Amino acid sequence: MRSVLNNQWTKPVLFLACLVPLAYLIWRAYERDLTANPIEFITHQTGDWTLRFVVLTLAVTPLRKIPGLAPLIRFRRMLGLFAFFYGCLHFGTWIGLDKFFDWAEMWKDVHKRRFITVGFTGFVLMIPLAVTSTAGWIRRLGGRRWQWLHRAVYLTATAGVIHYYWLVKSDVRRPLRYAALVAVLLGWRVVLWLVARRQHSASGPANQQEPATAETT
């Protein structure tokens, strides 16, 4: 397992795998098979994948605590950037295809429609994270501040789930599944934080701080 995770080819292969949802959409478009409502189909597909990549990104930190999976950290930045990538496609679909650059109407929607307000917020919060995802920015900000900033992804995940939940008419099963995943992944962090705080108060300020890394290799 470790050798697969450390293999130099794993990352390019994963990169291509992350493009498969986009390739699938392009293929469906080429086949003229984007359902009876293509714009809605593209919007939903790109939205689903944004949320999936957010969840995958959030899963990296817990998973790498499992013995042997520590090198997973190599892929976290890429997964996060793909979440942003699909978020851009989702947002772009809304702007260009759904609203057709009707800025006044979009601004009204962002104000008035709470599911759009919260979705928009989740997306905007990803922008600074994408910008500061480079090694240079980690250095400039300093590990602690960088880490603090990147906790905004917790808000993005929460906003994404609420956005989905508020969007559906009555069948909330799928949004609730995402909500459960995000709850587990964020809950794990809360538990860890509580445990660490307890140890901290028991043993004094000797705890080591985990180094901030977008990537360690």
Partner 1 sequence: MGRRNFLLGLLVTGGAAAAWKKLPSLVAAAATGSVPVKLDGVIKGPYSTDETPTSFNDVTHYNNFYEFGTDKQDPAQNAKNFRTSPWTVSVEGEVAKPRKFTMEEILKLAPLEERIYRHRCVEAWSIVVPWIGYSFNVLAKLVEPTPKARYVAFESYYDPRQMPWGAGSGIELPYVEGLRLDEAMHPLTLLCLGMYGETLPNQDGAPVRMVIPWKYGFKSIKSLVKIRFVKGEPSTTWSLANAREYGFYSNVNPNVDHPRWSQAKERRLGEFFKRATLMFNGYGDQVASLYAGMDLRRYY
CA angle at 50 for the pair 170 and 33, rounded to the nearest 5°: 75
Does 36 contact partner 1 by CB under 8 A? yes
Residues 115-134 that bind partner 1 (CB under 8 A): 115
Residues near 212 by beta carbon (within 8 Å), at least 6 away in sequence = 138, 143, 144, 146, 147
Cβ neighbour number for residue 197 with a 10 Å cutoff:
11
Residues 164-183 that bind partner 1 (CB under 8 A): 166-167, 169-173
Residues 71-110 that bind partner 1 (CB under 8 A): 100, 105, 109
Selected from 14, 22, 40, 106, the binder of partner 1 by CB under 8 A is 40
Cα dihedral value 39, 167, 80, 187, nearest 10: -160
Does 215 contact partner 1 by CB under 8 A? no
Does 35 contact partner 1 by CB under 8 A? yes
Distance in Å, CB of 98 to partner 1, minimum: 8
Query: Please, which residue, 99 or 189, has the CB nearer to partner 1?
Result: 99
Tokens representing 49?
A: 């994948």
Query: Please, which residue, 38 or 143, has the CB nearer to partner 1?
Result: 38
Residues 130-159 that bind partner 1 (CB under 8 A): none
Residues near 25 by beta carbon (within 8 Å), at least 6 away in sequence = 34, 42, 45, 46
Selected from 2, 65, 111, 114, the binder of partner 1 by CB under 8 A is 114
Residues that bind partner 1 (CB under 8 A): 35-37, 39-40, 100, 105, 109, 113-115, 166-167, 169-173
